Structure 1
Amino acid sequence: MKILIFGINYSPELTGIGKYTGEMGAWLASQGHEVAVVTAPPYYPEWNIHPAYKGKNWFKEIVDGVTVYRVPLYVPKEVTSKKRILHEFSFLGAVFPKWFGLLLRKKYDVVININPPFHLGFFALLYAKIKKARLLTHIQDLQIDAAKDLGMINNERLLKWMFKSEKYLLNNSHAVSSISLGMQRKILAKGVPEKKFIMFPNWVDERTIKPLAKENSLRQEWGIPLGDKVVLYAGNLGEKQGLEIIIETAEHFKERRNIRFLIVGSGGNKENLEKLAAEKGVTNVYFYPLQPYAKLSEMLATADIHLVLQKKSAADLVMPSKLTGILSAGGCALVTAMPNTSLYDVIQRDQLGVLVEPESKNALVSGLEKMLEEDLSAYQNAARDYAMKHLSKERIMRNFENNLLELTG
Structure 2
Amino acid sequence: MRIFLHDYSGHPPQIFLSRALAARGHQVVHSYAAEIETPRGQLHAQPTDPKTFSILPIRLSWPLKKHSYFIRQLQEVEFGLRLRQAIIKAEPDVVVCANAPLAAVAIAQMACRRRRIPFVFWVMDLHSLAVHVHMRKKLGLLGEAIGRFYKWLERRTLLLSDRVISISEGFEESLDTWGVDPAVRSVMPLWAPLHELPVRPKDNPWSRSLGFDKGLTILYSGTLGLKHNPALLVRVAEHYRERADIRVVVISEGLGADYMRRKKAELGLDNLTVLPYQPFEEMPNVLGTADILVTLLEPDAGVFSVPSKVLSYLCAGRAQAAAIPAENQAARVIAKSGGGLTASPLDAEAFVAAVDRLVCDEQMRRECGANARAYAEREFDINRLAAQFEGYLVGLLPAGARGGEVPIDFSLARRSGS
- TM-score, length-scaled by structure 2: 0.83
Q: Distance in 1 between matches of 2:116 and 2:334?
A: 42
Q: Distance in 2 between matches of 1:165 and 1:208?
A: 36
Structure 2 counterpart of 1:218: 206
Alignment pair present for 1:177 and 2:165 = yes
Structure 1 counterpart of 2:130: 146
Structure 1 counterpart of 2:78: 93
Structure 2 counterpart of 1:402: 391
Partner amino acid, structure 2, of 1:243: P
Structure 2 counterpart of 1:266: 253
Report deviation, 1:359. 3.7
SS in 2 for 1:162: helix
Partner amino acid, structure 2, of 1:2: R
Structure 1 counterpart of 2:306: 319
Q: Distance in 1 between matches of 2:267 and 2:219?
A: 19
Deviations 1:342-390 (A, max 9, x none): 2222222332210111043212221122111122222111111111111
Structure 1 counterpart of 2:4: 4
Alignment pair present for 1:130 and 2:117 = no
SS in 1 for 2:37: coil
Shift of the 166–200 alpha-carbon distance from structure 1 to 2, 3 Å rule, reads same
Asked if structure 2 preserves the Cα contact closer than 8 Å seen for 1:230 and 1:304, the reply is yes
Q: Distance in 1 between matches of 2:347 and 2:333?
A: 21
Q: Distance in 1 between matches of 2:127 and 2:301?
A: 10
Shift of the 123–360 alpha-carbon distance from structure 1 to 2, 3 Å rule, reads same
Shift of the 27–367 alpha-carbon distance from structure 1 to 2, 3 Å rule, reads same
Structure 2 counterpart of 1:57: none
Shift of the 272–339 alpha-carbon distance from structure 1 to 2, 3 Å rule, reads closer
Structure 2 counterpart of 1:158: 146
Q: Distance in 2 between matches of 1:209 and 1:106?
A: 31
Shift of the 330–97 alpha-carbon distance from structure 1 to 2, 3 Å rule, reads closer
Shift of the 102–357 alpha-carbon distance from structure 1 to 2, 3 Å rule, reads closer
Asked if structure 2 preserves the Cα contact closer than 8 Å seen for 1:74 and 1:87, the reply is no
Asked if structure 1 preserves the Cα contact closer than 8 Å seen for 2:213 and 2:289, the reply is no
Q: Distance in 2 between matches of 1:208 and 1:46?
A: 15
SS in 2 for 1:320: coil
Alignment counterpart, residue 374 of structure 2, candidates 381, 385, 409: 385
Asked if structure 2 preserves the Cα contact closer than 8 Å seen for 1:6 and 1:124, the reply is no
Structure 2 counterpart of 1:343: 330
SS in 2 for 1:159: helix
Asked if structure 1 preserves the Cα contact closer than 8 Å seen for 2:190 and 2:308, the reply is yes
Asked if structure 2 preserves the Cα contact closer than 8 Å seen for 1:107 and 1:131, the reply is no
- Structure with the bigger RCO (C-alpha within 8 Å, sep 6+) is 2
Report deviation, 1:90. 1.4
Structure 1 residues 29-108: aligned runs within 5 Å: 29-36=22-29, 39-45=32-38, 65-66=53-54, 68=56, 70-76=58-64, 79-80=66-67, 83-96=68-81, 99=84, 103=88, 107-108=91-92
Q: Distance in 2 between matches of 1:337 and 1:351?
A: 16
Report deviation, 1:391. 2.3
Asked if structure 2 preserves the Cα contact closer than 8 Å seen for 1:110 and 1:134, the reply is yes
Alignment counterpart, residue 179 of structure 2, candidates 188, 191, 199: 191
Structure 2 counterpart of 1:13: none
Structure 2 counterpart of 1:254: 241
Shift of the 205–20 alpha-carbon distance from structure 1 to 2, 3 Å rule, reads closer
Structure 1 residues 112-131: aligned runs within 5 Å: 112-131=96-115
Shift of the 194–76 alpha-carbon distance from structure 1 to 2, 3 Å rule, reads same
Q: Distance in 1 between matches of 2:83 and 2:168?
A: 32
Asked if structure 1 preserves the Cα contact closer than 8 Å seen for 2:12 and 2:193, the reply is no
Q: Distance in 1 between matches of 2:296 and 2:357?
A: 17
- TM-score, length-scaled by structure 1: 0.84
Shift of the 297–160 alpha-carbon distance from structure 1 to 2, 3 Å rule, reads same
Structure 2 counterpart of 1:59: none
Alignment counterpart, residue 285 of structure 1, candidates 272, 275, 278: 272
Structure 2 counterpart of 1:243: 230
Partner amino acid, structure 2, of 1:32: G
Asked if structure 1 preserves the Cα contact closer than 8 Å seen for 2:133 and 2:147, the reply is no
SS in 2 for 1:68: strand
Q: CA RMSD for the aligned pairs?
A: 2.9
SS in 2 for 1:269: helix
Deviations 1:86-131 (A, max 9, x none): 324314225436635854x664321222243122222232222221
SS in 1 for 2:241: coil
Partner amino acid, structure 2, of 1:3: I
Report deviation, 1:152. 5.6
SS in 2 for 1:260: strand
Q: Distance in 1 between matches of 2:203 and 2:57?
A: 43
Deviations 1:173-216 (A, max 9, x none): 11101212222443334322322112333322222312222233
Q: Mind listing any 5+ residue stretches in structure 1 that lack a counterpart? A: 11-17, 53-61
Q: Distance in 2 between matches of 1:386 and 1:355?
A: 17
Q: Distance in 2 between matches of 1:192 and 1:158?
A: 22
Asked if structure 2 preserves the Cα contact closer than 8 Å seen for 1:46 and 1:267, the reply is no
Q: Distance in 2 between matches of 1:131 and 1:187?
A: 26
Shift of the 241–106 alpha-carbon distance from structure 1 to 2, 3 Å rule, reads closer
Shift of the 102–372 alpha-carbon distance from structure 1 to 2, 3 Å rule, reads closer
Report deviation, 1:328. 0.7
Q: Distance in 1 between matches of 2:76 and 2:37?
A: 14
